[in-house]
């Protein structure tokens, strides 16, 4: 289980082509800095790094880091950005993406077959998110490939009776970076540790591996929280942008606009609210809460990211968005008037955008259905073991549930689970095609018995 990772001809060729295509796209498109800043809150990350780079001394750097808070959101991009600007981060993102694709290939090949592996990586590299994320300043460009790699090492741990220390260490270190960058993943390594306790033997070894996994995975998050506590009062700390409090306010604000009620003045001024106050509000207005969740669910499931990748990034169609705030109009129409009203508005704004979105949505629906078929067939076969199956099923379930903590769920929030969808899509597609009757060069079906 701990041998070298073979690098066969197919994946080497594919990674070379995809890497060259991404670099060619960066060089061909005008306005690199502008395209780079299209990612969600990219301007915020750039401003934080610029503030750190302009600090006069080390104490000023520390003070700036504490003030901006949540350093995992930008810290791992800082060296490449400081050295080469947007081009350095994009190159880092592309390299990480290619490594993630390689490990997706390894997962599929080790669990299923080379045919499934080839199909999975081709499907994954064709998704709008894998076109857009490596080119933009978004945390998905870091977390998504690291999550694929982490799942690979988790799979190795769960397939071994006694997990190798190297696999445990690799998973834990990757999880530490993922959790520090996106706090929503902090419970995922805990779930893997629980699976280890059920799967690994002997018991003492399982406990040690599980404990090490949890401790290392939450180490960066824990150290940061400890630093905040130790330096309380010494450094000014600004409220976390899009932290839990502000996310709850954003959802509450959407609920208020949906049903026409007013939020407390203090909540609006602070642009934040506690979980207890939000729960009280949701219980008081259950229909508006359900409508906001349903609106987000439609967007998360059906929105493929075509408007961002092909409209705003590649510029293939114009959505008539003069300002950054215009991007929220689609969500607001969906919230207050419904999905079909948004579709009608999109048709009036840009028929090309609507047609391309519908085409990709239909294709994505087919991918999801075939993935569901592949997963159900996999459940019946039980070929990879219960622990690995639970791991693969947990990724999309976890991402789907915890994404709704955000004030407004975007298609980007679905992207961390897309590699699992592509994995089971490939399994289902290969099984479906293998069930088709094959014909010989003479036209006779090979599944038919020859007649005398």
Alpha carbons 308 and 354: distance in angstroms, whole number? 13
Contact 333, 345 (CB under 8 A): yes
Alpha carbons 401 and 371: distance in angstroms, whole number? 19
Burial of 449 by CB count in 10 Å (0-12 exposed, 13-18 middle, 19+ buried)? Answer: exposed
Alpha carbons 159 and 277: distance in angstroms, whole number? 44
Tens digits of per-residue pLDDT, 372-400? 999 999 998 877 788 999 999 999 999 99
The whole-number pLDDT of residue 439 equals: 53
The structural domains of the chain, with segments of one domain joined by +, span 9-236
**For the chain, first and last CA: distance in Å?**
51
In sequence order, the β-bridge partners of residue 232 are: 235
Tokens 């070298």 identify what position?
4
Alpha carbons 304 and 434: distance in angstroms, whole number? 28
Question: Which segments of the chain have a pLDDT < 70?
Answer: 1-5, 238-242, 322-326, 438-452
Residues in contact with 345: Cβ distance below 8 Å, sequence separation at least 6, in sequence order: 330, 333
H or E segment and range at residue 284: helix 275-284
Tens digits of per-residue pLDDT, 330-358? 888 888 888 888 889 889 988 998 999 99
Contact 81, 88 (CB under 8 A): yes
Tens digits of per-residue pLDDT, 238-282? 666 667 788 888 899 889 888 888 888 888 888 888 889 999 999
Alpha carbons 151 and 137: distance in angstroms, whole number? 24
Alpha-carbon distances, residue 44 vs 33, 84, 242 (angstroms): 14, 18, 11
What are the tokens at 205? 């070894």
The whole-number pLDDT of residue 317 equals: 87
Alpha carbons 159 and 174: distance in angstroms, whole number? 19
What are the tokens at 209? 């591996």
Q: DSSP letters of 18-80?
A: HHHHHHHHHHHSS-HHHHHTTSTTHHHHHHHHHHHHT-SSHHHHHHHHHHH--GGGTGGGHHH
Peptide bond into 202 cis (omega under 30): yes
- pTM as predicted: 0.91
Tokens 């081009």 identify what position?
87
The whole-number pLDDT of residue 40 equals: 82
Alpha carbons 142 and 136: distance in angstroms, whole number? 11
Report the Cα 170 to chain-centroid distance in Å.
20
Alpha-carbon distances, residue 159 vs 97, 361, 387 (angstroms): 25, 36, 8
């Amino acid at each position: 289980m701990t041998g070298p990772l073979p690098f066969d001809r197919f994946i080497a060729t594919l990674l070379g082509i995809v890497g060259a295509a991404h670099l060619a796209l960066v060089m061909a498109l005008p306005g690199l800095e502008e395209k780079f800043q299209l990612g969600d809150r990219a301007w915020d990350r750039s401003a934080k790094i610029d503030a750190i780079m302009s600090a006069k001394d080390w104490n000023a750097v520390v003070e700036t880091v504490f003030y901006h808070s949540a350093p995992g959101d930008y810290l791992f991009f800082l060296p490449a950005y400081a050295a080469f600007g947007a081009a350095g981060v994009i190159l880092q993102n592309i390299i990480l993406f290619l490594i993630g694709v390689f490990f997706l290939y390894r997962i599929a090949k080790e669990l299923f077959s080379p045919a499934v592996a080839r199909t999975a990586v081709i499907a994954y590299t064709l998704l709008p998110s894998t076109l857009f994320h490596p080119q933009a300043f978004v945390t998905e460009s870091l977390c998504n490939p690291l999550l694929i790699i982490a799942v690979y090492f988790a799979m190795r741990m769960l397939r071994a009776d006694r997990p190798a220390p190297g696999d445990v260490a690799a998973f834990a270190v990757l999880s530490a970076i993922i959790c520090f960058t996106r706090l929503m993943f902090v419970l995922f390594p805990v779930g893997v540790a629980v699976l280890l306790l059920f799967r690994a033997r002997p018991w003492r070894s399982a406990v040690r591996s599980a404990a090490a996994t949890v401790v290392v995975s939450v180490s960066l998050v824990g150290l940061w929280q400890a630093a905040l506590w130790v330096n309380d009062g010494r450094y000014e700390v600004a409220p976390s942008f899009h932290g839990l409090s502000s996310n709850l306010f954003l959802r509450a604000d959407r609920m208020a606009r949906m049903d026409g009620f007013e939020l407390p003045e203090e909540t609006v001024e602070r642009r934040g609210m506690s979980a207890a106050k939000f729960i009280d509000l949701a219980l008081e207005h259950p229909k508006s809460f359900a409508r906001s969740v349903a609106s987000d669910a439609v967007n998360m499931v059906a929105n493929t990211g075509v408007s961002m990748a092909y409209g705003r990034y590649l510029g293939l169609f114009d959505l008539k968005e003069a300002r950054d705030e215009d991007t929220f109009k689609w969500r607001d129409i969906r919230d207050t008037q419904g999905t079909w009203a948004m579709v009608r508005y999109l048709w009036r704004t840009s028929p090309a955008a609507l047609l391309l979105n519908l085409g990709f949505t239909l294709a994505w629906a087919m991918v999801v259905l075939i993935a569901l078929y592949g997963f159900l067939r996999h459940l019946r076969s039980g070929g990879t073991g219960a622990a690995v199956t639970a791991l693969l099923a947990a990724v999309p379930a976890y991402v789907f549930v915890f994404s709704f903590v955000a004030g407004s769920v975007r298609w980007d929030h679905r992207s961390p689970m897309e590699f699992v969808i592509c994995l089971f899509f490939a399994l289902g597609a290969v099984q479906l095609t293998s069930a088709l009757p094959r014909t010989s060069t003479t036209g006779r079906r090979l599944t038919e018995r020859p007649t005398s």
